[in-house]
Each structure stands twice: as C-alpha cells, then as structure tokens.
Amino acid sequence: MSEPVLEIPEGWEERAVDGWEWATLWEAVEEGDHGYSHDRVQQAIDAGIDPRVILDDGLFPGFNLQGDRFSEQIIFIPEMLITARAMKAGLALIRPLLAANDEKPLGTFIMGTVLGDMHDIGQSIVTIMLENAGFNVINLGTDVHPDKFIETAAEEKADMIGFSALLSTTVYYQKVTIDEFEKAGHRDKVHILIGGAPTTQEWADECGADGWGRDAMEAVKLARRLITDQRGAWA
Ligand code: B12
C-alpha cells in the first residue's frame, strides 16, 4: 500500500492569474473546510479565473488526494464526507457560471444516482456540463427509486435519462431501472445513458443502455449526438 500524494496539476500557474496560489484551497478541501472552500472559490471567480480551471486546478487536487486515501482505507466515511462537502461548497458557486445559457434547451435530461447509492459528486459534474451544453437538466439526487425516474420522465416528457452508480453492488440497479422503463412501456421514448467509475461500455451494452460516458465530457458528446435522434412521443 503506497501513501497517496497530492497531485499538483501541471501548468496551473499559466491558467490562473498573476500571484495566485491554490495550495490553501487544496488543503481546505483535503481538511474539509467548506467555509474556506466557498470563500476561496468566490475569490477565484472574482479574480476572473475560468470556472473549469477552478474545478480542475482548485477543487479536484485535495478531493482526489482524500479519495485515494479513502480507497486505501487510510481515512473513512466521516473524513471523506467533510471533504465532499467542501468540494460541493465550491461546486455550488461554479455551477451557475458554467450553466449560464438562456437559449432554448437542446432537450430535457433527467439525472440521478440509482437506488442504494449515495455518491453524487460525479453526476453533479455531469449535470453542470450538460447544463453548460444547453440541456435542461432535472437532477433527482441520490438513492433514486426506479419509480421516481419513471414518474419524473413522464411528467417532464424527458428526452434523455442518466443513471449514475459508483458501487459494484448498485450498478445492478441501472439494469433494474432500465427494465422498469421497459415494463412501463416507456423505454422507446427516452435515450438512457449510464456512467460511474465501475461501469463500462460492455456493461452498458449488457444492461440495455443507449450509451456510456467515461467522464463528463464524454457524457456531453454522447448526449449531443443522441438528441438528434428523436424517440417515440410521450402522451
Ligand atoms: C467520495 C466517495 C464517497 C462519499 C460520497 C460523497 C458524495 N456526496 O458523493 C461517501 C463518504 C459518502 C462514500 C460512501 C461510501 N463509499 Co465511496 N467513494 C468515494 C470516492 C472517494 C470518490 C467518488 C467520487 O466522487 N469520484 C469523483 C467523481 C468525479 O468521479 P465519478 O463519480 O466516477 O464520476 C465521473 C464519471 O464516472 C462520469 N459519470 C458519473 N456519473 C455519470 C452518469 C452518467 C449518466 C454519465 C454518462 C457519466 C457519469 O462522469 C463523472 C465526471 O467525470 C470513491 C473512490 C474514488 N477515488 O473514486 C469511493 C468509492 C466509490 N466508495 C466505495 C465504497 C465501498 C463506499 C461505501 C460502501 C463505504 C462504506 N464502508 O460504507 C459507502 C457507500 C454509501 C452508499 N450507500 O452509497 C468504493 C466502491 C467499491 C466498489 N467497487 O463497490 C470506492 C471505489 C472506494 C474504494 N476503493 O473502496 N463514498
């Protein structure tokens, strides 16, 4: 077992502004200081730093360091949770900037983490990127029951749905939820995308999804490609 180290993003100085430093934010996210994380991200926004740069260079290094420690069982749920909270305090400020888009939405996308799974950082980032790309995204949060996905998709006449899962035990619910759409007679009305670290293209094929996104950028590319193919109409 190797001790995880902070991975400093290469070339971060060129992407920030003169005299800027990220070290205090890396440390704040690592230590779960959500108040500082919020304030430092606000300062970065005020200084005119690109929100994507704030996410990648400012917020992720400390989060990834703690994530690696969590995976190695050097830290446990309480520490990981406070780091996640600090990450989300920063994400909340970046979100409206990335999503500022007044044009007619490309389509309605329902996003959620499947039943039994509480992980939401990855799907929140995908949500932000989809909003930024022009989708109207309704995020149902975590631990979402298949019925809730179906009910919301019907209410909102969704074009696309995304199921996130981070646990090898919950990826199964991606298939269960897809099967429930089939049983309810709605499967042909929506494009279904899946994602989350343990998922693969093979799993997407096996569980009957229309696509798999390795990361947020791929999710956006996929959604933009699929939206051009109209599905059956909602009643
Ligand atoms: C943060 C975290 C937590 C936090 C979650 C906080 C939160 N609000 O999300 C807390 C502490 C609550 C937690 C709890 C647990 N966790 Co946890 N957690 C993690 C950790 C460190 C990071 C996950 C993360 O946010 N990654 C960063 C994001 C950006 O990546 P991502 O989610 O993969 O998302 C990207 C892509 O996958 C994709 N994507 C994601 N969703 C979607 C959806 C669609 C539609 C598309 C197209 C793409 C897409 O785009 C995203 C952005 O690029 C990982 C380990 C790791 N280093 O990954 C473990 C990890 C996922 N957890 C794990 C475990 C075991 C647990 C617990 C069971 C621990 C326990 N003993 O109780 C509980 C389960 C609770 C539950 N029922 O869900 C294991 C899972 C092992 C497995 N294979 O099943 C991991 C891998 C750690 C490990 N190695 O042991 N965890």
Tell me the per-residue pLDDT of 169-192, one tens digit each, with 9 for 90 and over: 999 999 999 999 999 999 999 999
Which strand ranges, in their side-by-side order, compose the sheet holding 160-164?
136-139, 108-113, 160-164, 191-195, 211-213
Q: Is 105 exposed, middle or buried (0-12, 13-18, 19+ CB in 10 A)?
A: middle
Which of 7, 30, 68, 70 maximizes ligand 1 atoms within 8 Å of its Cβ, making it the mutation to test the pocket? 70
Examine residue 10 and state whether it is found in any structural domain, yes or no. no
**How does pLDDT run across 58-83, given as a tens digit for each residue?**
999 999 999 899 889 999 989 998 99
Helices 77-98 and 121-132: angle between axes, nearest 10 degrees = 0
Last residue of a domain, one of 100, 121, 141: 100
pTM above 0.85, yes or no: yes
What domain range is 209 assigned to?
108-226
pLDDT at 99: 66
Give the CA count within 13 Å in the CB-facing half-sphere of 11. 2
- In a shared domain, residues 215 and 116: yes
- In a shared domain, residues 116 and 156: yes
Predicted confidence band of residue 95 (pLDDT cuts 50, 70, 90): confident
Q: Which two tokens stand for residue 159?
A: 């074009």
CATH number at residue 177: 3.40.50.280
Examine residue 12 and state whether it is found in any structural domain, yes or no. no
Q: Tell me the average pLDDT across 86-107.
A: 81
Predicted confidence band of residue 138 (pLDDT cuts 50, 70, 90): very high
pLDDT at 100: 62
215 in contact with ligand 1, CB cutoff 6 A? yes
| φ and ψ at residue 204, rounded to 5 degrees | -60, -45
- In a shared domain, residues 92 and 178: no
- In a shared domain, residues 92 and 116: no
Examine residue 2 and state whether it is found in any structural domain, yes or no. no
β-pairing, 191-195 vs 108-113, is unpaired
- In a shared domain, residues 88 and 112: no
Q: Tell me the average pLDDT across 29-46.
A: 97
Q: Tell me the average pLDDT across 26-31.
A: 97
User: Which is higher by pLDDT, 29 or 233?
Assistant: 29
Q: Which protein residue has the closest C-alpha to ligand 1 atom 81?
A: 167
- In a shared domain, residues 43 and 151: no
Predicted confidence band of residue 131 (pLDDT cuts 50, 70, 90): confident
pLDDT at 102: 56
- In a shared domain, residues 138 and 181: yes
Is pLDDT of 105 > 90?
no
Examine residue 6 and state whether it is found in any structural domain, yes or no. no
- In a shared domain, residues 202 and 124: yes
Q: Tell me the average pLDDT across 73-96.
A: 91
CATH number at residue 44: 1.10.1240.10
Q: How far is CA 1 from CA 32, 42, 80, 198, in A?
A: 24, 37, 19, 21
184-190 long-range Cβ contacts below 8 angstroms, 24+ apart: 184/150, 186/150, 186/153, 186/154, 188/231, 188/232, 189/153, 189/158, 189/231, 189/232, 189/233, 189/234, 190/153, 190/158, 190/159, 190/160, 190/161, 190/231
Q: Tell me the average pLDDT across 223-233.
A: 85
Examine residue 11 and state whether it is found in any structural domain, yes or no. no
Examine residue 16 and state whether it is found in any structural domain, yes or no. no
Q: Which protein residue has the closest C-alpha to ligand 1 atom 68?
A: 167
Examine residue 31 and state whether it is found in any structural domain, yes or no. yes
- In a shared domain, residues 125 and 213: yes
Is pLDDT of 1 > 70?
no
Last residue of a domain, one of 100, 133, 156: 100
